[in-house]
Amino acid sequence: MDVGEITGLVAVVMVFSIPLVAIWAGVLKSRYRASQRDIGENERAELHRLSAVADSMAERIATLESILDAEVPDWREDHERNR
């Protein structure tokens, strides 16, 4: 093989391989974006669940504090002193 044949062979390989690489990169990019959306939706659902748990805990704490205020009026001051 001489230089001209090798150059022609390289040109033919490049003509067919460059579009394939571009298509492959596009497929990978679209899969990556789809996986990022899925992760975002899952995280959003988990955040919503945790927010509901936190709201429920805040209500329980407020209830417990009101019970303590009624039954042990100085509990807050005692708690602060013992810290």
Q: Predicted confidence band at 1 (pLDDT cuts at 50, 70, 90)?
A: low
Average of per-residue pLDDT values in the chain:
84
Euclidean distance between CA atoms 76 and 68, whole angstroms: 9
What is residue 50's predicted lDDT score, i.e. its pLDDT? 94
Indicate if the pLDDT at residue 70 is higher than 80: yes
Q: Predicted confidence band at 55 (pLDDT cuts at 50, 70, 90)?
A: very high
Indicate if the pLDDT at residue 71 is higher than 70: yes
- Answer yes or no: are the C-beta atoms of 69 and 75 closer than 8 Å: yes
What is residue 38's predicted lDDT score, i.e. its pLDDT? 67
Please tell me the pTM assigned to this model. 0.48
CA angle 67, 52, 58 (to 5 degrees): 20
